[in-house]
Amino acid sequence: MKRIKQEYPKLPICIQGDALYGVEPVMELCRKYGWKYIFSQKETGQRLVAENYNLLSEEDKTKKTGIKIGKEEGTGCYYNHMEKLAGKKEIMNLYEYSYEKKPPKGVIEIRFQWLTNIELTKNNLEEMIKARRGRWKIENEGFNNQKNGIYRIEHLNSRNSNAMKNHYLLTQIADILMQLYLAWCSLIKEIKQSIKNTSSRLLESFRRQIVTDEDVLYIKRYTSIYLE
């Protein structure tokens, strides 16, 4: 964080992280550098914040009513400056998002909570929820796919730190190419080909297909790709 601040002193930054980052030493650094933050909140994290928030009545919490938020059509509410109730020094504005999930049997309520130093209002609550849910999408559709999907990065490929970094960078490049290819090629969606088979066939095309002069000229041209 210190190095980033030195190299990009005027860059506006908002750090997002899980509950492990939602501690006062990290928040203090953000305040020192003039950065914003949004961290996940769990009752096992900021315990006093959680306890005091649970003691608040429904009337104390500010809710955005009448508008369904996100694709799940959930609801959001918030309470600014929880740090005053919990006896903390750093700003801890707490907001949450909840929606109902209907499995084959019964109804399950899904709830998320976050801490931020951004002042929360009814006008920015939906934007703040979407911003935080975006990180969840990156985590599940990005890193989780790399770990449990076709890349299997949880496998220890080396004990050398540089080799591990190089391996992961190559994995990132491969994943970027795959996502662009899947988003661009509408034929794959039509034939409903599995990602594993798509990956194997794409690899074979790299190995067997000859790069022509026409291909090279096409690469040199400025190209725009429009994704659905």
CA–CA gap between residue 21 and residue 42 (Å, rounded)? 11
- In contact, 117 and 93? CB cutoff 8 Å: yes
DSSP reduced 3-state for 155: coil
Extents of the domains making up the chain: 2-140, 149-220
Task: Please return the burial class of 49, using the count of CB atoms within 10 Å of its CB with bins 0-12, 13-18 and 19+.
Answer: buried
Superfamily holding 2-140: Transposase Inhibitor Protein From Tn5; Chain A, domain 1 (3.90.350.10)
Residue 207 structure tokens: 């190995």
CA–CA gap between residue 96 and residue 113 (Å, rounded)? 4
| pLDDT tens digits, 171-228 | 888 888 888 877 777 777 777 777 778 878 888 888 888 888 888 887 777 767 666 5
pLDDT in tens, the chain (228 residues): 999 999 999 999 999 998 999 999 999 999 999 999 999 998 888 899 999 999 988 888 888 766 788 788 888 999 999 999 999 999 999 999 988 888 777 788 888 999 999 999 999 999 999 888 877 777 777 777 787 777 778 777 888 999 999 998 998 888 888 888 777 777 777 777 777 788 788 888 888 888 888 888 877 777 676 665
pTM, 2 dp: 0.69
